[in-house]
Amino acid sequence: MKHALAILLIFCATPAYAADWFQFHGPHRDNKSPDTNLLQEWPDAGPDRLWEATGIGEGYSTVVIVGERIYTAGEIDGDCVITALDMDGNKVWTRTSGRAWSKSYAGTRSTPTIVDGLLYHLSGIGNLICLNADTGDVVWNVNILEKFEGRNIIWGLAESPLVVGDKVICTPGAKDVSMVALNRKTGDVIWKCAGGGDKPGYASPVLIEYDGLKQIVTPMSEAIVGVRASDGKLLWRYPHKVYTDQNITTPLFHQGLLIISGCVGKGTTALRLQVSGNECSVEEHWHNKTLDNKQGGIVLVDGRIYGYAPSQNRSQPWVCIDFTSGDTIFQSAPVQSSYKYKNGCLTYADGRFYLYADNGKMVLAKATDSGFEVTGKLTIEDPGKRPTWAHPVVFGGRLYVRYGTKLGVYEVGGNAR
């Protein structure tokens, strides 16, 4: 396991922040926690809850943890509100960044990103704001849909900003401007990516470096694109049309293969990158129809890819496939989601998967060759009226679970009772 982690390419802006969970899906945007010495089994009642924060607003944003602060976002009285909490769940500050997404599935989607004391958050209607992470004071803001003639999508913008060096990356999805890089300290435009023509997707971009070329990869509405990080040139576009343009799954990259997934039967595909100097192309390496992940994310652990497949086998929706061949290894049902939404999300830490269903039920599970072996269960007493779609986070010996207008924090470190 340690060898596999060592060779994983680094997605974060700088290794100096690996000690924090400073962005969506963690230090490397791979949805894996660096924690060790965690509980391998939970007591019958589940792990001890340390506290529950209320009043953080409605939404599907998850959390980031930097230093002694926890950050998230939610919709309160129609506004998009970013909240900073201390490690005991007390509010340190709140800041409104304009109106929140108010149409279908109202609430926030994006998770903040924090680098060098600056916080970046994108609202569902395109407000990109930069705040002082300590005080919540506004440094700069811009509406990317208005400034770049971008086009919103059916369920609102959902990407969590990516910081690459002195740039913050976002995708307005205009007819002529797919992606932009802004100076992360001033908000000024550094480059624009022309071409592509797609609207935004719902996923968050990743930075990858392969054969000496750095590129930013993100799903758009009908394609996956690779953009040169230095100047914004569109390197390649791979058509990836899914049902109602729900390109939601953040890609994974490992050993020259880019892993992408799509819902409603689209399945999971491995694309091989072919780099030549400052240019790159992609070609399909394998395709698996079973794992048609929607919005729960996928995780790569020890040569296997794990995720939730809502359409292909509803009785056994948790799927494991082989990274090298794309073959399905198992389908399993360690925890069932609701009848209406049929979705689950996951994260990974210290040899265990944390599988979270959209009805507020979670299990701790060990992956075997034949399925998930459950080693603990947690049921949220009052998960709210909305589906629990926010991805869980395990960091610093704690499990962070977002549901409705609340955040539950549980002790999962090895010294817990």
CATH of the domain at 26: 2.130.10.10
Comparing CA positions, the residue from 174, 178, 155, 159 lying closest to residue 237 is 178
Question: What is the model's pLDDT at position 2?
Answer: 37
Question: What is the model's pLDDT at position 417?
Answer: 52
- Alpha-carbon dihedral sign for residues 398, 401, 407, 408: negative
Question: What is the model's pLDDT at position 10?
Answer: 37
Residue 323's contacts (CB-CB under 8 Å, 6 or more residues apart) are: 254, 257, 259, 270, 300, 303, 304, 305
Give whole-number Cα distances, 255 to 210, 259, 367, in Å.
8, 11, 22
Name the residue with tokens 């680094």. 10
Look at residue 9 and tell me if it is in a domain.
yes
| Strand ranges for 368-415 from DSSP E | 372-379, 393-395, 398-403, 406-411
Write down the pTM of the prediction: 0.94
Question: What is the model's pLDDT at position 313?
Answer: 67
For the chain, how long is the longest CA-to-CA vector?
56
- Are 153 and 103 in contact by the 8 Å Cβ rule? The answer is no
Look at residue 127 and tell me if it is in a domain.
yes
Segments of the chain with pLDDT less than 70: 1-18, 312-313, 416-417
Residue 110's contacts (CB-CB under 8 Å, 6 or more residues apart) are: 24, 61, 73, 121, 122, 123, 124, 157, 158, 159, 160, 161
List the domain range (segments joined by +) for residue 92. Answer: 2-411
Question: What is the model's pLDDT at position 221?
Answer: 98
pLDDT one-digit tens code per residue, 362-388: 999 999 999 999 999 999 989 999 999
Give whole-number Cα distances, 413 to 47, 334, 356, in Å.
10, 22, 19
Q: N- to C-terminal Cα distance for the chain? A: 27
CB-based burial label for 302 (10 Å; 0-12, 13-18, 19+):
exposed
Question: What is the model's pLDDT at position 185?
Answer: 98
Question: What is the model's pLDDT at position 4?
Answer: 38
Look at residue 155 and tell me if it is in a domain.
yes
Q: What angle do CA 172, 252, 107 make, to 5 degrees?
A: 45
Tokens linked to 265: 């039967």
Query: What count of residues does the chain have?
Result: 417
Look at residue 281 and tell me if it is in a domain.
yes
Q: What is the Cα–Cα distance from 61 to 111, expressed in whole angstroms?
A: 5
Look at residue 416 and tell me if it is in a domain.
no
Question: What is the model's pLDDT at position 341?
Answer: 85
Look at residue 417 and tell me if it is in a domain.
no
Question: What is the model's pLDDT at position 416?
Answer: 65
Structural domains counted in the chain: 1
Amino acid occupying residue 352: R
List the 406-411 sheet strands across, edge first.
49-53, 406-411, 398-403, 393-395
Q: What is the Cα–Cα distance from 204 to 399, expressed in whole angstroms?
A: 22
Residue by residue, DSSP assigns 186-240 as T--EEEEE----PPB-SS--EEEEETTEEEEEEEBSSEEEEEETTT--EEEEEE-
Question: What is the model's pLDDT at position 100?
Answer: 98
Question: What is the model's pLDDT at position 311?
Answer: 84
